[in-house]
């Protein structure tokens, strides 16, 4: 039995999101049917809507920071029951057989994960549609349980912005005694500050814009360095075990390499694209430093993040919006006019549009 759904979609790279009726695929025996309550707005949503990466499939219903309530479950589902509050992130399936999937690293699936939207279901070849909609159907293995004490609205961005910064923190074993830098104070950057501080590490924000010190300290930053100030940058040479670069556009990296300690790593999580100028390898070699990349996180790792956030009371700083205002929210996001993540109240789909 298919499910008729109302959502918001983009029909081309040059048109705004508009109401869109579509059909969800038939639920399977291992599926969870979810009523969507909240959906975060991610910069990736806008990239896909505008076809910035040349792989958008229209009509396109974005949204991969989904919080919802279970409506029904298939006969083979054992982990969830109706009325559970659950989450769905960037992936809804993978091959589940390759070396990456076997390590719980589904985001690096050798056959490419099935993404929550702008993807093709690997079983029945139907298009996937995201969380700017009333309901979604997801394989049990890719559904996450939201801790009861965690505010579901503020939990939505944890499913992308949160896990994107949590994964490198865990991979590089950050904890008490570690020194971590965070480049950029946006949706990802503010989560990196909160999570790093909760892990017991010292954390420093790098920003080009003076005036962010007060907000940064409230979010957990021990220090703030203005990256255009050469004296301030020189004062933290050789300090950092890990620097997380959250900037989503092309920018200069060479000034950050000398700030890494021996064996330190600069990890890119913001999809900056082609980097210019050419990376200076001398400080890499002289300090056994590394430049790396990291992409979201696996399902088990994402559940670990949610449980950690539930224990420590960590959510994203959000501004709630109605679905009819999503195009205006995109404009404001591009102007950095949000602290620090928009979340859509999906009940607003019931408003007259």
pLDDT category of residue 182 using cuts at 50, 70 and 90: very high
Query: Which ranges in the chain are annotated with CATH 3.40.50.720?
Result: 162-293
pLDDT at 313 over 70: yes
pTM of the predicted structure, to 2 decimals: 0.93
pLDDT category of residue 183 using cuts at 50, 70 and 90: very high
pLDDT at 336 over 90: no
Q: What integer is the mean pLDDT of 309-328?
A: 96
Instruction: Specify the CATH superfamily of domain 162-293.
Output: NAD(P)-binding Rossmann-like Domain (3.40.50.720)
pLDDT at 346 over 90: yes
Q: What integer is the mean pLDDT of 275-294?
A: 87
- Rounded distance between C-alpha atoms, residue 14 and residue 198, angstroms: 42
pLDDT digits (tens, 9 = 90+) for 208-229: 988 889 999 999 999 999 999 9
Query: Which ranges in the chain are annotated with CATH 3.90.180.10?
Result: 3-160+297-350
- Rounded distance between C-alpha atoms, residue 201 and residue 4, angstroms: 48
pLDDT category of residue 275 using cuts at 50, 70 and 90: low
- Rounded distance between C-alpha atoms, residue 97 and residue 78, angstroms: 21
pLDDT at 352 over 60: no
A 10 A CB-CB count for 295 gives 16
Residue 59: is the preceding peptide bond cis (ω within 30°)? yes
- Cβ contact 241:177 at 8 Å: no
Instruction: Specify the CATH superfamily of domain 3-160+297-350.
Output: Medium-chain alcohol dehydrogenases, catalytic domain (3.90.180.10)
Percent of the chain with pLDDT over 90: 88
pLDDT at 272 over 70: no
pLDDT on residue 274: 67
């Amino acid at each position: 039995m298919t499910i008729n759904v109302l959502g918001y979609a983009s029909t081309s790279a040059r048109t705004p999101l508009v109401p869109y009726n579509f059909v969800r695929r038939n639920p399977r025996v291992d599926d969870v049917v979810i009523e969507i309550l909240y959906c975060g707005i991610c910069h990736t949503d806008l990239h896909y809507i505008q076809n910035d990466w040349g792989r958008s499939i229209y009509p396109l219903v974005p949204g991969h920071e989904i919080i919802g309530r279970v409506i029904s479950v298939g006969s083979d589902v054992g982990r969830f029951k109706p009325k559970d509050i659950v989450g769905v992130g960037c992936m809804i399936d993978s091959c589940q057989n390759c070396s990456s999937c076997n390590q719980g690293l589904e985001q690096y699936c050798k056959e490419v994960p099935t993404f929550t939207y702008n993807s093709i279901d690997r079983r029945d070849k139907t298009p996937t549609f995201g969380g700017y909609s009333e309901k979604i159907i997801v394989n049990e293995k890719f559904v996450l349980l939201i801790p009861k004490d965690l505010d579901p609205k503020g939990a939505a961005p944890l499913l992308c912005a949160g896990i994107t910064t949590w994964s490198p923190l865990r991979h590089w074993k950050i904890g008490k005694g570690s020194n971590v830098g965070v480049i950029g104070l946006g949706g990802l950057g503010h989560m990196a500050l909160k999570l790093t501080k909760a892990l017991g590490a010292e954390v420093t924000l790098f920003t080009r814009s003076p005036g962010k010190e007060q907000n940064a300290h409230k979010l957990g930053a021990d220090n703030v360095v203005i990256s255009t100030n050469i004296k301030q940058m020189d004062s933290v040479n050789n300090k950092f075990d890990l620097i997380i670069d959250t900037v989503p556009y092309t920018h200069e990296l060479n000034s950050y390499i000398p700030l890494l300690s021996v064996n330190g790593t600069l990890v890119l999580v913001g999809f900056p694209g082609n980097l210019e100028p050419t990376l200076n390898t001398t400080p890499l070699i002289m300090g056994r430093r590394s430049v790396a990349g990291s992409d979201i996180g696996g399902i088990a790792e994402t559940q670990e993040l949610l449980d950690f956030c539930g224990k420590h009371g960590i959510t994203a700083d959000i501004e709630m919006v109605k679905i009819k205002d999503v195009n205006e929210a995109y404009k404001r996001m591009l102007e950095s006019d949000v602290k620090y993540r928009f979340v859509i109240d999906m009940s607003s789909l019931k408003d007259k549009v």
